[in-house]
Amino acid sequence: MTARRGERPGSAESGGGAPPAERVAAAPPPGAELREHWPESAAALVERQRRLAEEAEGITPWRPSRGSGLRLGGVWVVHPRGGVGAGRGGDPAWAAAVVIEGEHVLCTATVRGVAGSAYEPGLLALREGALLESALRALAVRPDVLLVNATGRDHPRRAGLALHLGAVVGLPTVGVTDRPLVARGAEPGPRRGDTSPLFLDGGLVAVWLRTRSSARSLVAHAGWRTDCDVARTVVLGCSGRWRTPQPLRLARQLARSARSRGDGQV
């Protein structure tokens, strides 16, 4: 089945390798449950984000299990080529989700639908949240942790889309973006694995991370039930020879392939 992209101050670039064939479906129309998870107005979303930030403070942090392989999930959304500006509600959208374990792709899903709103920093959940949830619900295998092209606590209300999505689907999440949203910190060193902290109002919310020597660094964000140490470990561990973590790279390829084929053109 089929399922787009981050609280997004930028997204990581693609690499080679074709993803496996995926199942394709249309995203369901938003029902009461989706509307509860994904508010349809900016004011309602802001209030929901404030509550989520409070909830996140009291939740037991997730830690990867030792001695067993992790099932890593990734999600991505794309919109029609050639779009300019912030877009608008009703824009066609294709979202993809993937689960991998080591070098093996366990399952994929793509969904077609429409954007919930124009893009606005800090309010990405309005545009993409429901579509991403639909893609995840279509997966045949549940991941242990999910990578999202969005921020987590690096957010005006400490609850970006990566954190919000994790709370909705009950999965630990890590955000990955090209740059921070509102946090600040110096760039890391030039070698793979080099990191440097990103702070917001004195608190550590994300880290700059060099996933490939001499390539541009990216930002690993603490999300739902994860801290910055876990975010760094997860992102670096699944980046391999690419700058972009493999689950996100594959999900992006799947979403772009669905768009190119016109799957579920709306």
For the chain, domains (ranges, CATH) are: 23-261 (3.30.2170.10)
Q: In the 3-class helix/strand/coil scheme, how is 43-94 assigned residue by residue?
A: HHHHHHHHHHHHHHHCCCCCCCCCCCCCEEEEEEEECCCCCCCCCCCCCEEE
Q: What is the pLDDT of residue 86?
A: 87
Predicted TM-score (pTM) of this structure:
0.87
Q: What is the pLDDT of residue 24?
A: 55
Residues of the chain with pLDDT under 70: 1-36, 67-68, 263-266
